[in-house]
Amino acid sequence: MTDNALQHLLNVEKEARDFGFLWPDAEMIIDQALSECEEVREALRQQQTQQRVQEEVGDLLHTAISLCFFLGFDVQETLAKTSVKFATRMEALKAVARERGYVDLKGQSIALLGELWQQAKLETKDLLG
């Protein structure tokens, strides 16, 4: 997502809110996000076109941004924080994997990936809060 695309969406969100078109509460936005997740899943199950799947993922992103906007969070700041959080955890995950003798994790089981991710979360808990 380019900054321009994000800014355009935020501008449209603000216009919609100023016009009175807004969600009444966060629960409804969360329900919409769950619905959008199901639409993405269904598009993938039905092996729809990449364009269609991208459209559904876009709707999901829009809903997440709408929740952020509704809660009064700065979207750029929120994305920056989650980026730092993910990068920090990935560095911890890589360190744990290397300690166990892995050069990379290509071809490894999802169970191992999940185990390493949980370990990385534990190791970065105090650092990230």
Give tens-digit pLDDT for 11-35: 999 999 999 999 999 999 999 999 9
Residues 43 and 89 in one domain: no
CA dihedral 43, 45, 47, 48 (to 10 degrees): -10
Same domain, 66 and 81: no
Domain span at 40? 1-73
Same-domain status, 54 and 97: no
The whole-model pTM stands at 0.84
Q: 112 and 68: one domain?
A: no
Per-residue pLDDT tens over the stretch 34-80: 999 999 999 999 999 999 999 999 999 999 999 999 999 999 999 99
Q: In this predicted structure, what is the pLDDT of residue 3? A: 64
Q: What is d(CA 88, CA 62) in angstroms, rounded to the nearest whole number?
A: 26
Least-confidence region, from 81-90, 104-113, 118-127: 118-127
Backbone angles phi, psi at 23, to 5 degrees: -70, 140
Same domain, 11 and 49: yes
| In a shared domain, residues 39 and 85 | no
